[in-house]
Amino acid sequence: MQKLNLSQVLSQKLSPQQIQFIKLLQVPTAELEARVEEELEINPALEEGRDEEEKNPEEEFPENFDEDLGSREGDVNIDDYLNEDYGGYKMQGDGNYSPDDDDREIPLSGGISLHEQLLSQLGYLKLDDTQKLIGKQLIGSIESDGYIRRDLEAIINDLAFSQNIESDIDEVEEILRKIQNFDPAGIAARNLQECLLIQLERKEHPDDPNVQNAIRIINDCFDEFTKKHYTKIQKRLNIEDEDLKEAVQIITRLNPKPGGISDGMVKTQYIIPDFILSHVNGKFEISLNSRNAPELRVSRSYSEMFDAYDKSDKKDKKLKETVTFVKQKLDAAKWFIDAIRQRQHTLLKTMQSILDYQEEFFYEGDETKLRPMILKDIADRIEMDISTVSRVANSKAIQTEFGIYPLKYFFSEGIATDSGEDVSNKEVKSVLQTLVDGENKRKPLSDDKLVKLLNDKGYNIARRTVAKYREQLQIPVARLRKEL
């Protein structure tokens, strides 16, 4: 039997302004411009530029500012918003703007794509219309690393259904072999073994004994080669130590990912830093990338329009609807400007706290100087929620004199030492990398030996942790690091 009951429940909900702020906070600099342009298009009450009457920058962040959009508790107070003398707001506060950044365009890479390069080479072959369509289908199936991993039977089915072309495996393989002669060498291979063989067969001196030995190794002993079982290869192919070494060197100089070579074949992605760190007169100065500081204002014409409507007779239904529409647009414009402003404040506050926490690193750029730091450490310092710090750390980067670093680079767990102190796991990884770089490659260090060496240096670390760090550093197991 169903019953109706009344109950009181306390719940906390995000206001529209808080949701707006959260979305803007996690947007990286490269996307912020597009987000601002989008808002300018949909809201006629929002304009670029600033009014002549500008607020004092010191008044823009009152003492209780953190209790607004980004605080742990409370909602945004928007009462009497329209009665507030808001005006325009220049988003470039003191120290947050560099004139050198004015109108600086984001660099874009040039060149043409891998597929365009291959299609261009396909045009030089003497093929009929059907063969050209098969070639285009094969090139379209090449992945970014240069391999065709789709089964040829599936490609034949695609040709039949989408192009109405009847073909067979022999015809498709014949076209594939022609494409495999394109540059870069090794392109359109179906697996690593085929990729290496294509490159070996296209060597300048294919009859060279060392090249022939390399082809035999890949043809007959590929599994043993991938596992570095060199003794088994020697016995099976009956070749001397020096000949084996020469053949292996030839193979290791080949490119296992032919789709990722050659300028212009893969488009470069540029990291745009959100912060710029400079060292002036012995002190650090943090500034925001100018793209984080758009100049926005509320449209004067819309404000005047609202004032005029507000003073007129409100009995007219259409006039009431107009007043409501204008008010909504004005509110939205002010909320958006406030969210951008709060975004700047939160970014700078978070970055300054990270700088203070990791100050030793920023002086020298030495990874071993990084202190263990988790999101809660920064959240407690800036008195904001962990989720706010996470949104900043996961999508932002800082430019230093040592390079550009994502903010999440500075967060790491701690490892106990014999002295009772905690050190960053990045320091342990750095020491681990040094040990592997300095090992005898004929007898690489096992994980157990690495654990012992790290323990001798005072790091209390388990074998499973060493294995995890080794994998994160993309260091293969000892057997695969062995060299002749």
d(CA 225, CA 218): 7
Amino acid, res. 327: K
Lowest mean pLDDT among 164-173, 279-288, 296-305, 428-437: 296-305
d(CA 358, CA 371): 6
pLDDT-derived band of residue 42, with 50, 70 and 90 as boundaries? Answer: confident
d(CA 219, CA 233): 12
Q: Which domains, and CATH codes, for the chain?
A: 14-59+270-411 (no CATH), 114-260 (no CATH), 413-481 (1.10.10.60)
Q: Kind of pairing, strands 283-288 and 414-416?
A: unpaired
d(CA 277, CA 284): 7
**Is 362 exposed, middle or buried (CB count within 10 Å of its CB: 0-12, 13-18, 19+)?**
buried
Amino acid, res. 265: M
Q: What is the pTM of this model?
A: 0.52
d(CA 435, CA 455): 13
Give the pLDDT confidence score for residue 217 in this predicted structure: 92
Per-residue pLDDT tens digits for 113-156: 888 889 989 988 888 989 999 999 999 999 988 999 999 999 99
pLDDT-derived band of residue 420, with 50, 70 and 90 as boundaries? Answer: low
Per-residue pLDDT tens digits for 153-211: 999 998 888 888 888 999 999 999 999 999 889 999 999 999 999 999 988 787 889 99
pLDDT-derived band of residue 107, with 50, 70 and 90 as boundaries? Answer: very low
